[in-house]
Amino acid sequence: MNKKPTIAIIGGTVWGNRGAEAMLVTVIGRIRQDFPDAHFNIFSYYLKKDRTLVSDPHIHFYDGSPLSLVANHFLGVIVLKALSFLRIKPKHSRFLKTANALAQSDVLLDIGGITFSDGREKFLPFNILTIWPTMLVGTPVIKLAQAVGPFDHTLNRILAKYFLSRCAHVFLRGKNSTQHISRLNLPSDKTSSAPDIAFLYDPKYSLSNENAQKVYSIVGQIRREQEFGKQIIVIAPSILVDKKLRKKGLDYTDLLLSALGDRNPEKFFFVFMPNATREGSPKQHNNDILMIDKIMQRLKGSNLPEAFQNTCAYIDFDINTQAIRQVISHADLLITSRYHAMISGLALSVPTIVIGWSHKYQETMASFGLSDYALSISEINSDLTPAINEALEQSPHIQARIKDHLPLVREQADSQFRNIRQYFR
């Protein structure tokens, strides 16, 4: 077995979606436990920013943006294969750099959160191009735990069957995804169920150092409030869920604030924290900082008591997974609409309420026996108060339930890395 494998990773970044960062750094950190000299080719859609955040000499970043997937990945691989067929040794060129990196990797790990799902057909080209070029050069593709399906739509079902059947292995994140993929009749040895790899996250895996002093200040403020006997509620909203709820005629910000605003400010302290950050960018994609700003502005113009407004803290800057978990570790309750913020809460045995848009939320919470605290935006009404009250009242029982399930969840998540080893040629 190669003791210095080269692993390609696609579907994750350091900057932006911190759930993607949690998966990315966990994959690297976990593989390094067994193969400390491993090299990693990371295909990031925030290439320039990620390169400024990470200086590790064994980690090499390549462009994973949609444009690059077409030009450098797909077309580059076609040219590389044509040159190989003609027995022409290609010269070193920027154009073929990505194709060569794919061809020279032992395996490609796709850590995308959800792929080939009905209703998300606009993402099918991205789903395909993240894996097809690698398949063309003969490098095995493994999809680490992610949600797939459903496959009721004809186009999605046909393309999913074609490309997923050509993966070396597909790990499925929960019962719903496992049921969905059974419709594709893939070989039984091609698929298996495993929890999200972020359940294996360890702070020592962190690759970036972002706004450490600001995080230290926020954590200090939280600790002081705890010394006064206050309960800490951390809220990690999602700008994506805000959009989806607005289409239903619901105001996400009001939904959160109305459920929190009548609580005694002498007993509670609220921390509004993003789990997707692109500080300084006006773009909404993967940028919950804009959601935090919206909540701040709404509070300033609201009729909520000044005492409530004074018992709130806001994280409106870049924050990595290490710092996110540091903040959540102090929480008595986490309310979130971000999948990996939910995982952070569960991994830290913090009672968690999630307001989600996909089956991936429900199936993960169900694995901890916490389905009642996974609220779907398709069913949610205008009042979160009952769910919050129940979670606070049942906190000891919820914590006990999470702690009972965590060892098995982590063991099952680690099965993915036992599978990966066989591809290090």
In contact, 342 and 365? CB cutoff 8 Å:
yes
CATH 3.40.50.11930 correct for 6-202+410-423 = yes
For the chain, what is the mean pLDDT?
Answer: 94
According to the model, what pLDDT value does residue 65 have?
A: 96
Same CATH fold assignment for domains 6-202+410-423 and 211-350+352-393? yes
Give the whole-angstrom CA distance, residue 213 versus residue 206.
16
Whether the predicted pLDDT of 425 surpasses 70 = no
Global pTM value:
0.95
In contact, 167 and 191? CB cutoff 8 Å:
no
Query: What average pLDDT does the segment 46-64 reach?
Result: 97
User: Shortest CA distance to 5 belongs to which of 192, 95, 139?
Assistant: 139
Distances 53 to 47, 48, 79, 208, 285 between C-alpha atoms, Å: 10, 9, 32, 5, 20
93 pLDDT band, cuts 50/70/90, is confident
Whether the predicted pLDDT of 90 surpasses 80 = no
Give the whole-angstrom CA distance, residue 124 versus residue 120.
7
Q: Return the structure tokens found at 146.
A: 């992610």
Q: Return the structure tokens found at 41.
A: 């080719």
According to the model, what pLDDT value does residue 1 have?
A: 63
Superfamily of domain 211-350+352-393: Glycogen Phosphorylase B; (3.40.50.2000)
Q: How many CA atoms lie within 13 A of 46 on its CB side?
A: 23
Whether the predicted pLDDT of 10 surpasses 90 = yes
pLDDT, tens digit, 9 for 90 and up, residues 103-145: 999 999 999 989 999 999 999 999 999 999 999 999 999 999 9
Q: Return the structure tokens found at 79.
A: 């040219």
Whether the predicted pLDDT of 394 surpasses 70 = yes
Instruction: Tell me the percentage of the chain whose pLDDT exceeds 70.
Output: 99
The end-to-end CA distance of the chain, in Å, is 6
According to the model, what pLDDT value does residue 128 have?
A: 98
Better-scored residue on pLDDT, 74 or 84 = 74
Amino acid at 53: L
The domain limits of the chain are: 6-202+410-423, 211-350+352-393
Helix H segments across 165-211?
175-182
In contact, 127 and 112? CB cutoff 8 Å:
yes
User: Shortest CA distance to 415 belongs to which of 144, 25, 180, 148?
Assistant: 144
Give the whole-angstrom CA distance, residue 202 versus residue 26.
7
Task: Indicate the pairing of strand 107-110 with strand 141-148.
Answer: parallel
Helix H segments across 267-320?
289-300, 306-309
Query: What average pLDDT does the segment 341-366 reach?
Result: 94
In contact, 123 and 147? CB cutoff 8 Å:
no
383 pLDDT band, cuts 50/70/90, is confident
Helix and strand numbers, DSSP H then E, in the chain: 19, 16
418 by Cβ neighbours in 10 Å (0-12 / 13-18 / 19+) ranks as exposed
Whether the predicted pLDDT of 367 surpasses 80 = yes
- Count of C-beta atoms within a 10 Å radius of residue 94: 8
